[in-house]
Amino acid sequence: MKAKINVTKTFLPSQEEYQSILKRAWDTGWMTNRGVLVKELELKLKEFLGVSNIIAMTNGTLPIQIAIKGLGLKGEIITTPFTYVATTAAIVWESCTPVFVDIHPTYLTIDETKIEAAITSETSAILATHVYGNPCHVEEIDRIARKYDLKVIYDAAHCFGVKYKGESIFNYGDVSTCSFHATKLFHTGEGGALFCKSEYYDQFFQHHNFGHEGPEAFYGLGINAKMSELQAAMGLVVLPYMSEIMDRRKRVINLYQECLGGSNIDMFHIRDKAIWNYAYFPVMFESVKKLLEVKQTLEINNIYPRRYFFPTMDTLPYLRQSSCYIARDVSRRILCLPLHDKLTESDILRITSLIV
Ligand SMILES: *Cc1c(COP(=O)(O)O)cnc(C)c1O
C-alpha cells in the first residue's frame, strides 16, 4: 500500500529552526501575555499581508465571538450556510440568531442578491465567509450594510494572503478574522487573528485580554484570546516559507486541473480581481452518488479527501431549520481533494486516475 495521503498536511519547518526562535522566548522566560514573539509576528504579518490593524489570537473562533460582542450585535445576523460550523456557532454562542441566506451556485459565497429580502427590524449585521479563500461580493455587501445600517464581519479563516482589487481581503468589512489552525494555509499550531478598522482596535484589543487596563484596572468586559509565545514562534518560522508554499500549491492545482480537464467535474469560480491563495481544491461531482463512489475508491487506496463543507449549517440540530437549497445541493456534491506543498506529480496522477 502506498503512503497515506490526507486532505492536507501541515507544513513543518525543521525543529532546529523552531528551536532557534523558541530560544528567544526561553531567554526572556516569558511565555505569553504578548511577549516579543507575538509582537514580532504581528509586525511581520502586517507587512506581509498589507494590513494596518491586527490582533493575534489563540484561535480563529474567538475573534469572531469578540467581533460580535465588541460590535454590540443583537438579534439576527445574516450569514451563509456554506461554511465551517465555527461561523454559525459563534453567532449562537453570542446569543444572536443566524439567518441563513443561500449561496451563489458558482462562487459558493453568500448570494448578495438575496440578502436584502432577509433583512428585518431585528437584523444587526452580515457575517459572511470568504469560503475557500474566494472573496464575497464585498462591494454589494457594503452597499447593503450602509443602506440598512448593519455591521459587516467577514469570516476570512481561509484567506491568508488573498487580495482583492490589489489589497488584502482582510481590509474589507468592519472586521475580518482568520484562522491559523494547523490545517489552514498559514499556521501557528492553533491560532488566529482579528483585523479591523482603526476605530475598533482599542476595544477589541481590550476584549481579547480580559478587559484589562493595566494590572489593576479594567476598561470593560473581556475574555482570554491571547496568542502564546509558543504559537507565535511557529508562525515566525512558517511565515518566510509562505510564498514558496503558495507557489507549490498553485502548481499542484494546475496539474489537477489539467488531469481533470474534459471530465464532468466542476470547480468553483474565483471572483474577478481576486488574487487567490490556493488554500483548498474543492471539486463538484454531478451527483452525491458519484461523490460517494469516488470518495470510497480513494479511501480504499489510502487517500483521504474531505467533504468540506457537509452538512450545511442550515441543518444544524440546535437551530430552526431553513431551506438553502443551493447550498445543500452543492454541499452534497463537493469534495476537497488532497492539497499541500509536498504533493508530487505522481501523487496527483494517481489521485486523478482514480477519479476519471
Ligand atoms: C477553521 C475555521 C474557523 C475556526 O478557526 P479555528 O482556528 O479552528 O478556531 C472558522 N471559520 C472557518 C470558515 C474555518 O474554516
Task: Measure the CA–CA gap between 57 and 228, rounded to whole angstroms.
Answer: 8
Q: Is 59 in the pocket of ligand 1 (CB under 6 A)?
A: yes
C-alpha cell at 73: 450585535
Task: Measure the CA–CA gap between 174 and 154, rounded to whole angstroms.
Answer: 8
Is the CB of residue 155 less than 8 Å from the CB of residue 129?
yes
Of 59, 47, 3, 14, residue with least CA distance to 231: 59
Reading the chain (356 residues) residue by residue, the pLDDT tens digits are 788 999 999 999 999 999 999 999 999 999 999 999 999 999 999 999 999 999 999 999 999 999 999 999 999 999 999 999 999 999 999 999 999 999 999 999 999 999 999 999 999 999 999 999 999 999 999 999 999 999 999 999 999 999 999 999 999 999 999 999 999 999 999 999 999 999 999 999 999 999 999 999 999 999 999 999 999 999 999 999 999 999 999 999 999 999 999 888 999 899 999 999 999 999 999 999 999 999 999 999 999 999 999 999 999 999 988 889 999 999 999 999 999 999 999 999 999 999 98
pLDDT at position 27 is: 96
Ligand 1 midpoint to CA 262 (Å): 33
Ligand 1 midpoint to CA 330 (Å): 20
The matching CATH number, chosen from 3.30.420.40, 3.10.129.10, 2.160.10.10, 3.90.1150.10, for 5-9+241-353 is 3.90.1150.10
pLDDT at position 179 is: 98
What angle is formed at CA 172 by the lines to CA 198 and CA 49, rounded to 5 degrees? 80
Task: Measure the CA–CA gap between 147 and 213, rounded to whole angstroms.
Answer: 36
Task: Measure the CA–CA gap between 222 and 220, rounded to whole angstroms.
Answer: 6
pLDDT at position 334 is: 98
Q: Whose CA is nearest to atom 7 of ligand 1?
A: 60
Is the CB of residue 333 less than 8 Å from the CB of residue 291?
yes
Ligand 1 midpoint to CA 195 (Å): 15
Say which DSSP state 266 is in: B
- Strand-strand pairing, 303-304 and 5-6: parallel
Q: Is 295 in the pocket of ligand 1 (CB under 6 A)?
A: no
C-alpha cell at 286: 454531478
Residue 63's alpha-carbon distances to 26, 51, 178, 272, 273, in angstroms, are 28, 16, 8, 28, 27
Q: Which CATH number is associated with domain 15-240?
A: 3.40.640.10
pLDDT at position 2 is: 81
What angle is formed at CA 185 by the lines to CA 281 and CA 86, rounded to 5 degrees? 85
Is the CB of residue 134 less than 8 Å from the CB of residue 270?
yes
pLDDT at position 57 is: 98
Atom of ligand 1 nearest to the CA of 129: 13
Which of 181, 190, 313, when mutated, tests ligand 1's pocket best, judged by the most ligand atoms within 8 Å of its CB?
Answer: 181
Q: Is 179 in the pocket of ligand 1 (CB under 6 A)?
A: yes
pLDDT at position 356 is: 87
The rounded radius of gyration (Å) of the Cα atoms in the chain is 21
Of 242, 234, 209, residue with least CA distance to 25: 234
Ligand 1 midpoint to CA 261 (Å): 31
Q: What are phi and psi of 38, to 5 degrees?
A: -65, -45
**What residue spans define the domains of the chain?**
5-9+241-353, 15-240
What angle is formed at CA 179 by the lines to CA 17 and CA 62, rounded to 5 degrees? 120
Task: Measure the CA–CA gap between 224 and 202, rounded to whole angstroms.
Answer: 15
pLDDT at position 4 is: 95
C-alpha cell at 164: 482583492
Task: Measure the CA–CA gap between 82 and 282, rounded to whole angstroms.
Answer: 13
Ligand 1 midpoint to CA 161 (Å): 16
- Strand-strand pairing, 192-196 and 54-57: antiparallel
Q: Whose CA is nearest to atom 13 of ligand 1?
A: 84
Residue 181's alpha-carbon distances to 188, 193, 206, 246, in angstroms, are 6, 11, 23, 17
pLDDT at position 20 is: 97
What angle is formed at CA 129 by the lines to CA 261 and CA 59, rounded to 5 degrees? 110
pLDDT at position 268 is: 87
How many C-beta atoms surround the C-beta of residue 239 within 10 A? Answer: 17
Ligand 1 midpoint to CA 84 (Å): 7
Atom of ligand 1 nearest to the CA of 61: 9
How many C-beta atoms surround the C-beta of residue 121 within 10 A? Answer: 6
Q: Is 160 in the pocket of ligand 1 (CB under 6 A)?
A: no
